[in-house]
A and B are shown apart, each in its own frame.
Chain A
Amino acid sequence: MAQFFVETSWLLPIYGLIGALLALPWSTGMIRRTGPRPAVYLNILMTLVAFGHGVMAFRGIWNSGPQELLFSWFEVADVHLTLAFDISVLNLGALELITGLSLLAQVFALGYLEKDWALARFYSLMGFFEAAMSGLVLSGSLFVSYSLLEMLTLSTYLLVGFWFAQPLVVTAARDAFLTKRIGDVLLLMGVVTLASLAGSLNFNDLYEWVKVENLSPTMATLLGLALIAGPIGKCAQFPLHLWLDEAMEGPNPASILRNSVVVTCGAFVLIRLQPIVVLSPVALGTLVGLGTVTAVGASLVALAQIDIKRTFSYSTSAYLGLVFIAIGTEWPGVALMLLLTHAVAKALIFMAVGSIITTTSCQDMTELGGLGRKMPATTFAYVTGALGMVGVMPLGCFWGLRMGADFLGGSAPLLALLFFIVNGLTALNLTRVFRQVFLGTSQPKTRRAPEVPWQMAVPMVTLSIINLLVPLAMGKLSLLPPWEYINWPITVLMLVSGWVGVAIGATVPLSKSLARSLNRTLRIAQDLLAYDFYTERLYDKTVVLAVSSLARFSSWFDQYVVDGLVNGVGLASLFGGESLKYSASGQSQLYLLTIVAGVGLLGIFMTWTLW
């Protein structure tokens, strides 16, 4: 029986897709007289089925060991594309995380979007989103992974663009798509290169190929850089990180997934690619470099945000920066540990954020305050999520951060230091936000703040409990280090860095109004961070400007030079200028001319053969 569930694991991504398709009658407006909720229930049901099936397959695989499912998809000439799925404990575990969080987020959305009539479209997209992510973690082939990454790009575009009539959404959706697309096109270059060089795109074949290839260093570097470009975009790493900030215009339930499992999917692909990327030390170095810049930069930027969604989205970038460092230093275990624990904690924090937005119609932290006494589920969720995010208690991320610092400490102490810094800064930020939002006196917008309805509260509380149970689950899966192997100095340092962050966060003065500092230097720094080092403006002045100037130039060139030249010189000389008058009589003359020319040539030829 268990084997049946394993063998049918290819169905796991299909469930979400079925849900998406089942929602079509409502999302396309074919059913208009009654409401869209059946689409919602169908999608939740399909996710539940996927989750259940995943659990059964997980139990099956736990006993039997990993399996590979191969389906021949497309064969033409020398191209053999197979759909390969690796069914392993790790992949199914990640899949369970995705379907589980997707399930919770969908139930949460039932409350968050209860007043939204476009529910069916939203759930269609969520089903599609979930399908793409599920397929991605199971994928055993770079071709499948690439295809699904593109699907994720598309569904991110559509989900961010869900409220398409809202002006900032229009630009946010566009930027999300294009930024990711830059990464994807570079990745496609890598995929095409690998396909041409190695023949097969299945990861296992590629790993074999890596052992015997003899690429030139330049080639290896270019290949490595191309391969990491896709994940850089997906994981919102510098310099392709801007979209995540803007994507916060999208609905919160999608943000829950985006900040937890979507970025995880990007990193997951990177982990699969890592044995190939190792061909290029430069690419590995780039991973570490970008990871470092993002981890520190995004942690600082997060501190200066006043928007409650954005501050946490930057923190997502920061954590993924640590993941990049771990992958760049070839510690995929650290990366996975961080990814999985971060996903659970961050999803929870975003749920709490969603409930705050629902209750207060506000995302501006300077206008919030005093919610703690009124909203128990939200407060509980935020606090557990926050504790799970940082190393102050032996909850989720503590173990990941500790492991990172421990493993990297030996070979690269400076990189290990980053884990402490990010931990401290994140703890500081979480404490600051907690004070600003949950403590203090009520403000006009938080004066009346009843707790959210059960559709939102239940997923929050459920996930809070899961969050508290994460260390137990990790222990059960033997992911925690045995007691005697724990590196105590590192562990204590991690806790200290976390608590120092908390202490600073608890004592820094908070401004309720958006008071910019009077000290000029401080103000400049504040603005620099608040506006993300002006990255957006930098883009406007560079890439965007370059492309649009080139485009305008091409258009101008086309209109005046090519058209003018080809029209004017080329044809004028050929037709003696007569044809360019475009008069009615000119047309018929021209007509004649063509036919005469054709017949004439035929005639010449005919006479020649006769001779």
Chain B
Amino acid sequence: MINTLPAVAAVPHPQEPFIQKLLRAEALLPDSETNVLEVVGILKSYGVVLDAYSKNLIYIADHQFLVLFPFFKYFNGEVTLPRLLRHWWHDRINFEYAEYCMKTMLWHGGGQLDAYLDSDDFLQRCRAAIAAKIKSNPAMRGLNALFSDFLPEQVRQMVYYSALGQFWRVMSDLFIDLSDAYDAGKVQTIPEVVAFIKAGLVAAAANPITYSVDIAGKTYDLLPKSAGLTFLMDVAVPYVEAVFFRGTPFLGTVSYNAQAYQISADQSRFDYGALYADPLPIGGAGIPPTLLMQDMRHYLPDYLTAFYQAQGRGLDDVRVKICQSFQKSMFCVTSASLQGLLPYPADTQDSVEQATNHDFLAGWMTRLATSRLDIVQL
């Protein structure tokens, strides 16, 4: 306390060991056999769930465009009585969680996609699509005239439906591939897992993100290729920022009371994301990720089910266990993303480049100081 005088520059970053690990192509998660089992197993079931989420998000974006009462939006167009009954029995994937992630992304914004949605170019395209959609609906036309931002805002939401759907499409395939590689014995350590994910992200980095809808036989490009939006920088990075880091305050753990000042006025200081979240309340009230954990429990690989069964309460608290594993896997994905986003190659010999890399990672690690990083090390 007394001797923290001038030598600030010399003090190493408190998370320096992690920075070094990332630079050595290792992970924020320690390498161990059970960690690999948990991470790959959970990513496998996550992959299956993301596949369903992604298909549904894209279906909604493409086929439920500006439908005011989308009663059957989770049916992907196949409405049959047995499906309806299963839906009512709540024997289904909880697509609400996908929409929750989408809304979180939309709300936090960030990246070129967000900026594009405010551009005049987008607004023109948006107006054209809206006009076509409500051409024969005078009530909606009136509403549109009165509340000028109502429908454009809905269209922006549709854009995010589609963008997140496209992002998860890639991630789902990547995670399933990872699981196949693990089953084939090609991936055996956490650094290999991270490398696998990083390779997948890098490969998809420049994929274009586009969105168009068909209205009355005519196609309206809402996100044209010309907007130049790409997978990694315009969707993946905002996604990680919005869902892994910031998140939204859970009603079940944080008070919204304005006079209690528990929630920061500055969204960039939010730390309610997946890397910070406390797994214990999962399953309780007001904890949205429960939906995801519930969906994943149906698709756990047998080895992971057996692993959970052997511990503590067995499958009675499986959703908490899934969340703990999921958090571990998300630290791997974060490791992969950070390594993929490094300004210069990790093994650069140029000291300026090294310093830039270091600063880049130091910035992220500072934010992770209050995350569950310490606990996943245990």
A and B directly contacting (CB within 8 A):
yes
Interface residues of A, Cβ cutoff 8 Å to B: 33-38, 41, 114-118, 121-122, 162-169, 248-249, 251, 305-310, 357, 360-367, 372-376, 379, 444-445, 447-451, 453-454, 530-531
A306 near B258 with CB under 8 A, answer: yes
Chain A contact surface mostly:
loop
Contact between chains at A362 and B260 (CB < 8 Å):
no
- Contact A117–B290 (Cβ < 8 Å): yes
| Residues 216-231 (chain B) with a chain A CB within 8 angstroms | none
**Docked complex Cα distance between A330 and B38 (Å):** 70
Interface status of B34 (Cβ within 8 A of chain A): no
Give complex CA distance A162, B286 in Å.
9
The docked-state distance in angstroms from the alpha carbon of A306 to that of B283 is 32
Q: Which residues of A contact B253 (CB under 8 A)?
A: 163, 165-166
Chain A residues positioned under 8 Å from B267 (CB to CB)? 444-445
Top 3 closest A-B pairs, CB basis? A35-B90, A118-B285, A364-B258
- Residues of B contacting A375 in the complex (Cβ-Cβ under 8 angstroms): 147, 150
Q: In the complex the two chains form, what is the Cα distance from A305 to B260 in whole Å?
A: 12
CA distance A34 to B298 in the complex (A): 10
Q: Which B56-114 residues have a C-beta within 8 angstroms of A?
A: 68-70, 88-92, 94, 96-97, 100, 103, 106-107, 109
Are the CB atoms of A116 and B286 closer together than 8 Å?
Answer: yes
In the complex, besides A115-B96, A117-B283, A451-B150, 9 extra interface pairs with C-beta distance below 8 angstroms are A33-B297, A163-B285, A248-B257, A251-B251, A361-B249, A362-B256, A373-B150, A376-B143, A445-B107
Tell me, in angstroms, the Cα distance from A364 to B255 when the chains sit together. Answer: 11
Evaluate contact between B90 and A361: CB separation under 8 angstroms: no
Known A34-B91, A37-B90, A310-B257; contact A121-B100, beta-carbon cutoff 8 A: no
Residues in B whose Cβ lies below 8 Å from that of A164: 284-285
Q: Is the interface of B mostly helix, strand, loop or mixed?
A: loop
- Neighbouring A residues of B297 by C-beta, 8 Å: 33
CB within 8 Å for A169 and B255 given contacts A34-B91, A116-B288:
yes
Contact in complex: B248, A361 (CB < 8 Å): yes
- Of B69, B249, B294, the residue contacting A117 (CB under 8 A) is B294
Q: Enumerate 21 A-B pairs (CB-CB under 8 Å) in ascending A order.
A: A37-B89, A115-B97, A115-B291, A116-B252, A165-B285, A169-B255, A248-B257, A251-B251, A308-B258, A310-B257, A357-B256, A360-B107, A361-B248, A361-B249, A364-B258, A365-B258, A444-B266, A444-B267, A445-B107, A445-B267, A451-B150
Judging by beta carbons under 8 Å apart, are B256 and A363 in contact? yes
Q: Looking at chain B, what size class is its interface with the partner chain? A: 35 or more
Chain A nearest CB from B292 CB (Å) reads 10
Q: Report B's interface with A, CB cutoff 8 A.
A: 68-70, 88-92, 94, 96-97, 100, 103, 106-107, 109, 143, 146-150, 153-154, 156-157, 248-249, 251-260, 262-263, 265-267, 281, 283-288, 290-291, 294, 297-298
**CB pair A530 B283 closer than 8 Å:** no
Q: In the complex, what residues of A have CB within 8 A of residue B256's CB? A: 309, 357, 361-363
Residue contact A118 to B263, C-beta cutoff 8 Å: no
Chain A residue at minimal CB-CB distance from B297:
A33
**Which A residues are in CB contact (< 8 Å) with B146?**
376
A216 to B259, CA, bound (A): 48
CB atoms of B153 and A450 under 8 A apart: yes
Contact B251 A454, beta carbon cutoff 8 Å: no
- List of B residues within 8 angstroms of A307 by Cβ: 257-259
Given known A365-B258, A376-B146, A454-B69, contact A117–B92 (CB-CB < 8 A): no
Chain B contacts of A305 at CB under 8 A? Answer: 258-259
Which of B109, B257, B265 is in CB contact (< 8 Å) with A168?
B257
Contact: B147 with A35, CB < 8 Å? no
Partner of A530, one of B259, B262, B284, B288: B259
Q: Point out the residue from A310, A361, A373, A454 that lies within 8 Å of B258, measured CB to CB.
A: A310
